[in-house]
Amino acid sequence: MAITSKTVLRLTFNTTGNKTFALSLDDPRPGLTKSDIEAAMETMIQRNIFLSPSGELTGKRDIRIVGTTSDDMYDPPQG
């Protein structure tokens, strides 16, 4: 049994197919700023780095840093 914490940076983009595309990155660098993230997203869009199932990325939709804590309450017996 253990308590674990995790932080994820979730970037969401609009696509040419009028849908959204989300990219999640584990353990973002501490001290990361909104302008750092926006600049990286702009680079991804301009250089067409990702092609989503609904087309090319066209714009920024959302930026979230999500923190979760999990408490594993049961470990099955070993052996």
Through-space distance between the first and last CA atoms of the chain, rounded to whole angstroms: 17
Confidence bin at 16 (pLDDT 50/70/90): very high
Q: What is the predicted pLDDT for the residue at 75?
A: 86
Strands of 55-71's sheet, edge to edge? 20-26, 3-15, 55-71, 51-52
Render pLDDT for 28-53 as a digit per residue (tens, 0 to 9): 999 999 999 999 999 999 999 998 99
Confidence bin at 22 (pLDDT 50/70/90): very high
Q: What is the predicted pLDDT for the residue at 25?
A: 97
What integer is the mean pLDDT of 5-31? 97
User: pLDDT above 90 covers what percent of the chain?
Assistant: 89
